[in-house]
Chain A
Amino acid sequence: MLPSYLTVAAILFCIGLYGALVKRNAIIVLLSLELMLNAVNLNLVAFSKYGVVPSLTGQIFSLFTITVAAAEAAIGVAILFALFRLRGTVNVDEFDKMRR
């Protein structure tokens, strides 16, 4: 079963990557990042059951990841608010201050 889980995780990860690369809306980009993190979590939990040495450590790690992802989402949305107040938009391609 392990390869099946891993394949699903890889599909999710790549969809998330594509979304993060092409979506204009910053919120969707954030969501895509969450999708990629979720794919990683799936891998962690799958290995915790079907790995060579099964243990709960994988689950613990996925908990940590979820926590960090939650923090990241919160910070990301907060930054979005700040940016929106500043620029009046949430489109990623209009945030090109780094160019100058």
Chain B
Amino acid sequence: MFNIDFTGEFAAFFVFSAIMISGAVLMISLDKVVHMVISMAAVFLGLAGMFVLLEAEFVAFVQVLIYAGAVSILMIFGIMMTKHHGGGRERAKPLHETLAAVSALSLFGILFYAIRTTAFPEPQPFQAGEDNTMAIGELLYTGYVIPFELLSVLLTVAFIGAIVLAKKEAD
């Protein structure tokens, strides 16, 4: 099954996935909220590294910029602006947690089984383009220009909405 040559890509992949999975597990298991966000940032960065491995430099750049930068900062702001009973124990809901763990595990089992049993055909060689960023830019402004513009509108609406929601109500 795991008959993979021990190449440089594999070594890097192993390191990055180790970072990501441990970050994710820490995010779940840590007590303090800020620590959770920081461990999450590690996951984001590890993912960016994965993207580089996958020859998606632009996506990796965006990942670092938006997730590791903007979203993490946003979450930290959120934590700072709301009150947290430092380290308050989670309310015990054993049945709920067990069920959630079981269903998450079985979902993983299903996915893993599907991944393992699928015979992926040998891919054609990947053309990342001379300049990955330029290639993506060209695609965005030619084939995907309408989704791109729609997404811009969505973003604008979302941010205006966020401002309106977060603003203190005018008395």
Contacts and interface: CB of A to CB of B under 8 A. Distances in A.
A–B proximity contact (CB within 8 A)? yes
Contact of B136 (A12, A59, A82): A59
B159 A88 contact: no
Interface string B112-151: 1001101011011111110000011001100010010001
Given A6-B115, A15-B24, A41-B47, A75 B165 contact: yes
B11 to A, nearest CB: 12
A interface, how many residues as a size bin? 35 or more
A26 B118 CA distance: 37
A78 B125 contact: no
Contacts of A70: 66, 70-71, 155
Contacts of A93: 91, 93
Contacts of A54: 123-127
A64 interface: yes
A35 B151 contact: no
Interface in B65-119: 66-67, 70-71, 74-75, 77-79, 81-84, 90-91, 93, 96-97, 100-101, 103-105, 107-108, 111-112, 115-116, 118
28 contacts: A3-B116, A4-B4, A5-B54, A7-B112, A8-B17, A13-B111, A14-B104, A18-B104, A27-B37, A27-B78, A31-B75, A32-B28, A41-B47, A41-B59, A49-B55, A60-B140, A60-B144, A62-B56, A67-B154, A68-B151, A70-B70, A74-B158, A75-B161, A80-B82, A84-B82, A90-B82, A90-B84, A93-B93
Interface of A: 1-8, 10-19, 21-25, 27-28, 30-32, 34-35, 38, 41-42, 45-46, 48-57, 59-60, 62-64, 66-75, 77-82, 84-85, 88-90, 93
Interface of B: 4, 9-10, 13, 17, 20-21, 24-25, 27-28, 33, 36-37, 40, 43-44, 47, 50-51, 54-56, 58-59, 62-63, 66-67, 70-71, 74-75, 77-79, 81-84, 90-91, 93, 96-97, 100-101, 103-105, 107-108, 111-112, 115-116, 118, 120-121, 123-129, 135-136, 139-140, 144, 147, 151, 154-155, 158-159, 161-166, 168-169
